[in-house]
Structure 1
Amino acid sequence: MSETIRIANDDLVVTVATLGAETQSLDTSDGRSWLWSGDPAFWAGRAPILFPIVGKAANDMIEIDGVRMPMKQHGFARRARFSVAEKTDSLCRMELGPSDETRAAYPFDFLLSITHAVEGRSLKVTARVENHDKVAMPFGFGFHPAFCWPMPGMTKGSVHHVALENRAEPPLVRLRDGLIDLTPLPSPFSEGLLALDHDYFIDDAMIFPEGAGDQLTLSAENGPSLAFTFENLPNLALWTKPGAPYICIEPWHGMAEAHGKGSDILNRPSTKILPPGEAVEFSFTVAVEG
C-alpha cells in the first residue's frame, strides 16, 4: 500500500503519496479543497509526475540509441514507489532511482527527487533530475496537477479564466491519435486571457509549445484564484475531460512524440539532454488567493 505524507503550516495542509510522489490534496485552513479528488468516475489521477517522457509514444515504444523499448504514456514515475528521503512539518522530499524494471524501459542511472514545500499560502513542488550515468541522458519531464473547476465556493457554470501574466497569444497545437500535430493553430487566448469552456477539450488537451510564459492565474469570476509560477518549464497544456469538474494546469519540458518525427527519444519536442554527472531542476508554485 502507498504511504501518504502530510505537510502543513498555519495556512495550508498538503498530502503526498509515495506512489508516484503524487500530490493528493491541497487544502486551506478554512477547509476548502483546491486539488481534484481523483474520482475514478472521471479520472483517477490528481497530480501525476511525468518522467522520463511526457505524453504518448506510438505503440507505447520509444527508441534509445537505436534500441526500441516499451514506454507507456507519461513514463513510469507516476506508477513507481518513491522512498521518503526527508520530512519536516512543512516539507517532504521523495526519491526514485533506477531498478531492473526502469532499466528495461530506460537504460540510464538517474535519480529523480520530488520536493513538496509549503510557505504561507503557497505550495512549491520541485523536481530534481540527476544523471549518475557515464553518458548523456535524454528525457522529458512534466507536472500534471488537476484543480477543482468550478473552484471552491463557486457553482457549476460559473465563469473561470486562465490569464497569462505576459498577456501573450501563444499558438495552439493539438494531439492526433495521441501524438502531437505540430501544425500551429490560432491561439484561443486574447491578450493573454482565456475563458474556459468544456468544448475546448472535445479534441483533447490544448497544448502551447512556446510563448505562454512562466506565470499564469486560474480564477473564478467574482471568486477565488490560484496564481502559478513555473521554472524551467517552457511548454504548457490545459486539459480536462469534457464535463468533468477539474482543469489540469500542466507545465512541461517535453511533449508527446510528434507525427512524422519517429520514435527516437531525441526527436521528441523539447527533450532535455542532461550531460553525465549533472543535475537540473524544474518547479511550479501555486499560491491560493482569495
Structure 2
Amino acid sequence: MHTLRSGAIEASIKADGAELCSLRNAEGIELLWQAGPAWPRHSPLLFPIVGRLKNDQLRHRGKTYPMTQHGFARDHRFEWAEQEATSCKLVLVDSDATRVRYPFAFRLDVTYTIENAGLTVAFDITNSGDETLPASIGAHPAFNWPLLPGLEKEAYALTFSHQETVPIRRLAGGLLRAKAEPSPVRGKILPLSERLFDDDAVIIDQLASRSVRYAADHGPSIEMSWEGFSELGVWSKPGGAAFVCIEPWHGFASPSDFDGEFADKPGVMQIAPGEQRSLGYRIRVG
C-alpha cells in the first residue's frame, strides 16, 4: 500500500491489481467504495479485455485461451517502479502466468499523480513483442452512493460535458445485445436511481463527452475526465448497492453474435511491435 497526499485529498493505492483503494477529501470523507459484501473491489483495472468474451475464451490463430470477465490484471500483483509523496508507478509485464491466458508480450505501466484536489491515473501499454498486440483497457472506480451519508440516492445525477442522446447498449449474459436502446440521459443529465441498473450497466458506446460530474445539490462532488477512452460504462449492482461506478473504457464486451479472433473483436486496440498506447483519466474532488 502507498498513500499520496496533497492539502486537498488523500489517495491510497495497493500493489495487488495496481488498485486505488481509498480516496478522501480534505474533511476526511471517504469517497471510494470500501469493497463491502455487495462487491469485493474498489477500483479494478480492466485489462486486457473489458467485459466478457463469448464462452470466456480468447481466440488467437485458431487456438483458444481461458479469459474471464475483465481480464487478469486486477488479480495480479504489480511491481512498484516509483513511490514518491505525490506520485507512484506500478508495472505489470507478461509472464508464464499471463501467457497461458493471453499469448502476447506486453508491459503495462500505471501511474498515479496527485495535485491539489485532482488525482490523475495514466495507463501506458507497450507492445514488447514481435506481433501486433490486440488489447482493451478500462477503469472501474466505484464511488460511494451517496457521497454524503444521509442523502437520498435519488439526489444524485451525472452531468456530462456534452449532450448524450444517442442510443445506449445493454448486456445479456455479460455479452453486448445486438439491439441498442433509447438513452436514459436527458440532454446532459443522467438521473441516478437503483432502478436504472435493473438491466445491468448503462453502456455509452458513441460517447460525445470527455468529462462527467457526479454530485447532488450539496456535499462532496466528483468530476471525472478522460483521454484516449472511447466508451463509458455506468454501473451499480442490480437490486441496490451503496456505490456507483463511472468507467471510461477502450473496448467493451463481445457482441452476442461475435465468436471470432480476438484481434478482430470490435473495440480492440491494435498496437504495433515496439509501440506504446497511452490513455488516462482524472478524478477531481469538489
Structure 1 length normalisation: TM-score? 0.95
- Give, as a single letter, the amino acid of the residue that structure 2 aligns with 1:28: N
Asked whether the 8 Å contact 1:150–1:157 carries over to 2, the reply is: yes
* Equivalent residue in structure 1 for 2:95, among 93, 99, 106: 99
Distance 1:178 1:153 in 2: 32
Which residue is 2:276 aligned to? 279
Which residue is 1:150 aligned to? 146
Which residue is 2:13 aligned to? 16
Question: Secondary structure, in 3 states, of the residue corresponding to 2:170?
Answer: strand
* 1:111 and 2:107 correspond: yes
Pairwise mapping of residues 166-185 of structure 1 onto structure 2 (< 5 A)? 166-185=162-181
Pairwise mapping of residues 124-139 of structure 1 onto structure 2 (< 5 A)? 124-139=120-135
Q: CA deviation at 1:261?
A: 1.4
Question: Secondary structure, in 3 states, of the residue corresponding to 1:52?
Answer: coil
* 1:201 and 2:197 correspond: yes
Q: CA deviation at 1:269?
A: 2.4
Q: Structure 1 stretches (4+) deviating beyond 4 angstroms?
A: none
Asked whether the 8 Å contact 2:145–2:153 carries over to 1, the reply is: no
Q: CA deviation at 1:51?
A: 0.4
Gaps of 5+ in 1: none
* Equivalent residue in structure 2 for 1:191, among 182, 187, 192: 187
- Give, as a single letter, the amino acid of the residue that structure 2 aligns with 1:254: G
Q: CA deviation at 1:46?
A: 0.6
* 1:247 and 2:240 correspond: no
Which residue is 1:49 aligned to? 45
Q: CA deviation at 1:243?
A: 1.5
Distance 1:281 1:182 in 2: 30
Asked whether the 8 Å contact 1:38–1:45 carries over to 2, the reply is: yes
Question: Secondary structure, in 3 states, of the residue corresponding to 2:43?
Answer: coil
Which residue is 2:158 aligned to? 162
Distance 2:164 2:200 in 1: 22
Distance 1:248 1:170 in 2: 21
Asked whether the 8 Å contact 2:167–2:180 carries over to 1, the reply is: yes
Q: CA deviation at 1:153?
A: 4.4
Which residue is 2:86 aligned to? 90
Asked whether the 8 Å contact 1:261–1:267 carries over to 2, the reply is: no
Question: Secondary structure, in 3 states, of the residue corresponding to 1:172?
Answer: coil
- Give, as a single letter, the amino acid of the residue that structure 2 aligns with 1:121: A
Distance 1:267 1:151 in 2: 40
- Give, as a single letter, the amino acid of the residue that structure 2 aligns with 1:54: V
Q: CA deviation at 1:158?
A: 4.5
Question: Secondary structure, in 3 states, of the residue corresponding to 1:183?
Answer: coil
Pairwise mapping of residues 29-48 of structure 1 onto structure 2 (< 5 A)? 29-39=26-36, 41-48=37-44
Distance 1:267 1:186 in 2: 27
Asked whether the 8 Å contact 2:153–2:192 carries over to 1, the reply is: no
- Give, as a single letter, the amino acid of the residue that structure 1 aligns with 2:257: G
- Give, as a single letter, the amino acid of the residue that structure 1 aligns with 2:110: I
Asked whether the 8 Å contact 1:218–1:225 carries over to 2, the reply is: yes
Change (3 A) 1:263 1:46: farther
Change (3 A) 1:211 1:157: closer
Asked whether the 8 Å contact 1:169–1:211 carries over to 2, the reply is: no
Identity %: 33
- Give, as a single letter, the amino acid of the residue that structure 2 aligns with 1:20: G
Distance 1:146 1:286 in 2: 12
Which residue is 1:264 aligned to? 261
Superposed CA offset, 1:136-166 (max 9, x none): 0001100000001111244234510101101
Which stretch of the first structure deviates more once superposed, 254-263 or 131-140?
254-263
Distance 2:150 2:284 in 1: 18
Structure 2 length normalisation: TM-score? 0.97
* 1:224 and 2:220 correspond: yes
Distance 1:269 1:196 in 2: 29
Question: Secondary structure, in 3 states, of the residue corresponding to 1:95?
Answer: strand
Q: CA deviation at 1:59?
A: 2.0
Q: CA deviation at 1:182?
A: 3.4
- Give, as a single letter, the amino acid of the residue that structure 2 aligns with 1:29: A
